[in-house]
Amino acid sequence: MSVLVNKDSKIVVQGFTGNEGTFHATQMIEYGTNVIGGVTPGKGGTTHLDKPVFNTVADAVKHAGANVSIIFVPPAFAADAIMEAAEAGIGLVVCITEGIPTKDMITVKEYLRGRNTRLVGPNCPGVITPEEAKVGIMPGFVFKKGTIGIVSKSGTLTYEAADQVVKAGMGISTAIGIGGDPIIGTTTLEAVQLFMNDPATEGIIMIGEIGGSLEAEAARWIKENNRKPVVGFIAGQTAPPGRRMGHAGAIIGGAEDTAAAKMKIMAECGITVVDSPAVIGQTMAKVLGKVMA
């Protein structure tokens, strides 16, 4: 089992022939991901990386059965790219692009309402189901197949958590980097729910950061619905109020936005909270009763 993507997913790359799209599509293909082609308007009918290029996402769906899209389109055009993928009937859209204007994402959020398209991102590392599909920019070699689900706002901490899990003798079912922008598609809570409902996921690692209420919302749901152990970490523990740390959404605006407040809420909701990402793996091994490798 896996969450969101697997070896049978048919991935189309929007922005396929650009520098970013080319680089990361190459890595995805080398990882073994089922990339069926890409989209670059005006270049339809050509090939790139030995894959077909389509003018539109609709063409990729019609002619190659694409059902997952990954977006490497510049910020000014990324919102349109997301909506094009949704209009074409793509079930999962992973938007890597950072710097998309907030007003554009408000439009996207409203456009996706009621549609059968899930958005992950923007400004995220993507989604990986180890040894099956890498739909993103994460270093695939870090991830080993296993039973721990990871949801994280931070790309770097996603990789760190995966490395710690593997060093503790376990592996990852799927890792979802949801991104740290003020307006995103899949939330922490939605990702946690996917893992709770995945029979192949044994434990969940939830990594958040200062700013917003996503972690508190997820924690309160976990308190009422938890069926699996959850280990949590919040980045930005030394951030002063009003300071933005890295991500556009990582700014303390209210009492529950601080790292300390979020960690307190998580702990009160039954989540095992750690103070350092360096102990995420061993803590998960401990709560699952596994012997360290």
Annotated catalytic residues are 247
Distance between CA 22 and CA 106 in Å, rounded? 29
Coil, strand or helix at 250: coil
Pairing state of beta strands 35-39 and 47-48? unpaired
Q: What is the DSSP string of 7-76?
A: TT--EEEETTTSHHHHHHHHHHHHHT--EEEEE-TT-TT-EETTEEEESSHHHHHHHH---EEEE---HH
CB 94 within 8 A of CB 129: no
285: which residues sit within 8 A by CB, 6+ positions away?
A: 168, 169, 170, 291, 292
Distance between CA 242 and CA 246 in Å, rounded? 13
Query: Does the N-terminal peptide bond of residue 74 adopt cis geometry, omega within 30 degrees of 0?
Result: no
Distance between CA 229 and CA 212 in Å, rounded? 24
CB 214 within 8 A of CB 186: no
Residue type, 128: I
Torsion of CA 221, 258, 104, 99, to 10 degrees: -120
Distance between CA 155 and CA 165 in Å, rounded? 16
Torsion of CA 89, 107, 122, 188, to 10 degrees: -90
